[in-house]
């Protein structure tokens, strides 16, 4: 039976099931197949806070959304075109996000009375008409998988578990994905248990064959490759990209990297990833807590390492006192904050941007630091290198603000040429810098950085500490004038950091409204702006990578527009800074839902502004 093939320009698929159903893996594989094909991609995993919530419950639902297209996309998609629901809980938890007309593929085997009751379905949605208006494909995923594996030497449980590969096979067929890499992946993954390789491969192929043969799926789809910049690509999450960026910074600076960290969601994977790269001279330490983590890191920085500590909001709250010490010591230090929804423990697996003010102001005394934020998963690589550049050149703590959305989301990454990455080499002090001997607080007039004289350097023995220091000598000083001078110098040091100008995307130069953003809102803001422009509504977009110091041209940029709007996943933290600094009546547009903005809601909001501007 030859099926009809239809061309699509983009598709959003959400795989949803129980935590034990392997949805993250399924989504990952589908993404990988899709990437191979050259589509542009963006993904959004979403998993429960519990390790294993009771099977079949709403809190136990885990999902993975992938958006792929034949053009360059910016977000994982607002609403799925296709939902794969492995059980009633997955259906119930996700149905609200589906537009009418969407496709739903259901695992009918799980729609038992017991499972329906567990999530409060009074009637079976397969029968009660509540799914009218969707294109529903009921598929007995479990039993067909088990049947396909009949006779193989595996347990019933293992056979049932392979149902996600059946589903993947079906979807791969449906969207004409190349499946060699998945088969290779299964070989690798189950190398130790060949019977599972066979089982999973069989399940995958059975799913594929089911698509090909069954009448239920009359049409097959294709999404052509996107026109992307030539080069080598891989799909990458923000946390991995950030970790690799730190490895790269180590290589390009010639310094050993030291990561001191205490596990915390959603930052732990940075520790996990870096702990694999010891061969680059990367040392990772799981410290007893966040304070020890930043302390050990500062100790390593003092000794001449590129010191990094990674955590999430609650951890940064604990590190404030030590960061304040690093400000006084004027040593390089990178503090990675993978933001999550707060306050307090909040919603640890959900994203948010509400740590900006803490990054800028969350320490006692005047304790200014540099603040840098990546805008997309792959951009975490570059942002990490930029943070290292600033920390090393200016001898200052740098807060690198990622978030849960960037951390776990993924996108294709054009692999950089390593030799083209910034040269981060630094000179340690090696001899006295004044006729009177070594002056630890005698600054480089260009950068205002003090010398980095690491222990072990003969003749430069000196003492530093958290008490106020006299300019130049670094001796303890209680002199009022000196203190005032040092406070202002520390502030000036940050303001003196050279950062690139803020770029504005305003294709026709006719926009009167500017959307200003920072961090992970880049994708949805960009998508919304594009959509508006396509509809002939001019709008300008600018996205801040540097929150402290701000690029010098921000004032100019802001004044070019009649209205400035700042969408943030907080209650207006960047807006507060912009308003204070530039006295511009920036509009704060805020949502604090633990989820990224959708492009469509931003488009809607911006449309009003543009029309009324």
Partner 1 sequence: MPDAKNVERAVTTAPIALKLTAKDFKSDQEVRWCPGCGDYAILAAVQAFMPELGIPRERIVFVSGIGCSSRFPYYMDTYGMHSIHGRAPAIATGLSTTRPDLSVWVVTGDGDALSIGGNHLIHALRRNVNLKILLFNNRIYGLTKGQYSPTSELGKVTKSTPAGSADSPFNPISLALGAEATFVARTIDSDRKHLQSVLRAAAGHRGSAFVEIYQNCNIFNDGAFDALKEPATRDDFTIRLEHGNPITFGRNAEWCVIHPPGGFGLEVRRTAEVEPHEIVTHDRTVAEPAYAFALSRLPGEDLRHSPIGVFRAVDRPSYDDLVRGQVAAARARLTGSPEEELTKLLNSGDTWTIM
Ligand X SMILES: Cc1ncc(C[n+]2csc(CCOP(=O)(O)OP(=O)(O)O)c2C)c(N)n1
Q: Site residues (CB under 6 A) for ligand X?
A: 262-264, 290, 314-315, 318, 345
Min dist CB 292 to partner 1, Å, is 4
Q: Exactly one of 5, 135, 153, 276 binds partner 1 (CB under 8 A); which one?
A: 276
CB of residue 317 to a second copy, shortest distance in Å? 4
CB of 52 to ligand SF4, least distance (A): 6
SS3 563: strand
Burial class (CB within 10 angstroms; exposed 0-12, middle 13-18, buried 19+) of 607: middle
Window 320-349: contact mask with partner 1 (x via CB under 8 A): -xx--x---x--------------xx----
Q: Judged by CB under 8 A, does residue 256 bind partner 1? A: yes
Chain centroid to CA 11:
21
Q: Report yes or no: 335 and 316 within 8 Å, Cβ to Cβ.
A: yes
What is the torsion angle, in degrees rounded to the nearest 10, for the CA atoms of residue 485, residue 491, residue 575 and residue 352? -130
Binding-site partner at residue 263 among a second copy, ligand SF4, ligand X, none, CB < 5 to 8 Å by type: ligand X
Cβ closest to partner 1, residue 35 vs residue 83 = 35
- Which tokens is 467 given? 């008490």
Pairing assessment for the beta strands 504-505 and 540-544 based on DSSP bridges:
antiparallel
Is the distance from CB of 357 to CB of 575 less than 8 angstroms? no
CB of 120 to ligand SF4, least distance (A): 24
365 or 500: whose CB is closer to ligand X? 365
Q: Closer CB to partner 1, residue 132 or residue 423?
A: 423
120 binds partner 1 (CB under 8 A): no
The answer to whether residue 189 forms part of the interface with partner 1 (CB under 8 A) is: no
Q: Are 298 and 291 in contact (CB under 8 A)?
A: no
# residues near partner 1 by CB under 8 A: 106
DSSP, residue by residue, 473-526 = T--B---HHHHHHHHHHHHHHHHT---PPPPEE-TTS---EEEEEEGGGHHHHH
**Whose Cβ is closer to ligand SF4: residue 52's or residue 535's?**
52
Of 64-72, 122-130, 136-144, 413-421, the window that binds partner 1 (rule: CB under 8 A) is 413-421
Q: Looking at the chain, how many residues does it have?
A: 613
Selection from 110, 104, 105 nearest residue 88 by Cα: 110
- Cβ proximity to partner 1: between 19 and 591 the closer is 19
Helix (H, G, I), strand (E, B) or coil at 385: helix
Given the rule CB under 8 A, which of 67-75, 136-144, 196-204, 277-285 is the region that contacts partner 1? 277-285
Of the pair 336, 494, the CB lying nearest ligand X is at: 336
Residue 52 sits in the site that holds ligand SF4 (CB under 6 A): yes
Q: How far apart are CA 529 and CA 156, in angstroms?
A: 51
By beta-carbon proximity to a second copy, the closer residue of 305 and 569 is 569
Could you list the residues that contact ligand SF4 (CB under 6 A)? 51-52
């Amino acid at each position: 039976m030859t099926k009809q093939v239809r061309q699509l320009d983009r598709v959003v698929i959400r795989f949803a099931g129980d935590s034990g159903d392997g949805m993250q893996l399924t989504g990952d594989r589908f993404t990988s197949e899709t990437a191979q094909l050259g589509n542009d991609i963006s993904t959004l995993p979403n998993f429960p806070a519990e390790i294993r919530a009771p099977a079949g419950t709403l809190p136990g639902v885990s999902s993975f959304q992938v958006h792929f297209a034949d053009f360059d996309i910016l977000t994982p998609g607002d609403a799925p075109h296709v939902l794969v629901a492995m059980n009633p809980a997955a259906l119930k938890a996700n149905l609200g996000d589906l537009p009418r007309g969407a496709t739903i593929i259901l695992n009918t085997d799980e729609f038992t009375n017991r499972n329906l009751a567990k999530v409060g379905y009074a009637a079976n949605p397969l029968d009660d008409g509540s799914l009218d208006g969707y294109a529903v494909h009921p598929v007995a995923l479990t039993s067909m998988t088990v049947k396909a594996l009949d006779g193989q030497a595996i347990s019933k449980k293992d056979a049932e578990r392979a149902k996600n590969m059946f589903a993947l096979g079906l979807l791969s067929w449906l969207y004409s994905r190349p499946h060699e890499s998945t088969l290779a992946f299964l070989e690798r993954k189950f190398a130790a248990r060949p019977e599972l390789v066979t089982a999973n491969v069989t399940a995958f192929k059975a799913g594929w064959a089911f698509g090909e043969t069954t009448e239920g799926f009359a049409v097959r789809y294709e999404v052509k490759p996107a026109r992307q910049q030539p080069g080598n690509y891989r799909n990458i999450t923000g946390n991995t990209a950030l970790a690799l960026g730190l490895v790269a910074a180590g290589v390009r600076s010639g310094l050993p990297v030291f990561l001191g960290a205490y596990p915390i969601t959603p930052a732990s994977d940075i520790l996990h990833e870096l702990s694999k790269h010891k061969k680059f001279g990367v040392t990772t330490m799981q410290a007893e807590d966040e304070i020890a983590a930043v302390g050990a890191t500062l100790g390593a920085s003092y000794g001449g390492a590129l010191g990094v500590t990674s955590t999430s909001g609650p951890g940064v709250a604990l590190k404030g006192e030590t960061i304040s010490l690093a400000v006084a010591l004027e040593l390089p230090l990178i503090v990675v904050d993978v933001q999550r929804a707060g306050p307090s423990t909040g919603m640890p697996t959900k994203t948010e941007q509400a740590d900006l003010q803490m990054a800028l102001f969350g320490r006692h005394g005047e304790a200014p630091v540099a603040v840098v934020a990546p805008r997309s998963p792959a951009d975490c690589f570059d942002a990490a290198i930029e943070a290292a550049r600033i920390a090393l050149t200016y001898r200052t703590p740098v807060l690198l603000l990622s978030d849960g959305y960037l951390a776990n989301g993924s996108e294709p990454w054009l692999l950089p040429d390593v030799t083209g990455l910034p040269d981060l080499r630094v000179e340690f002090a090696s001899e006295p810098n004044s006729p009177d001997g070594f002056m630890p607080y005698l600054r480089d007039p260009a950068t205002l950085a003090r010398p980095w004289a690491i222990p072990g350097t003969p003749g430069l023995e000196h003492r530093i500490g958290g008490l106020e220091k006299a300019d130049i000598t670094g001796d303890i000083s209680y002199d009022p004038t000196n203190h005032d001078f040092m406070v202002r110098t520390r502030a000036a040091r940050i303001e003196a950091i050279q950062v690139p100008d803020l770029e504005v995307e305003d294709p026709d130069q006719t926009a009167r409204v500017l959307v200003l953003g920072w961090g992970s809102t880049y994708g949805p803001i960009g998508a919304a702006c594009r959509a508006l422009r396509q509809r002939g509504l001019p709008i300008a977009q600018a996205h801040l990578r540097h929150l402290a110091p701000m690029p010098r041209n921000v004032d100019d940029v802001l004044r070019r527009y009649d209205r400035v709007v700042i969408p943030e996943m907080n209650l207006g933290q960047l807006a507060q800074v912009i308003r204070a600094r530039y006295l511009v009546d920036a509009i704060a547009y805020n949502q604090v839902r633990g989820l990224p903005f959708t492009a469509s809601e931003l488009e809607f909001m911006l449309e009003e502004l543009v029309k009324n501007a």
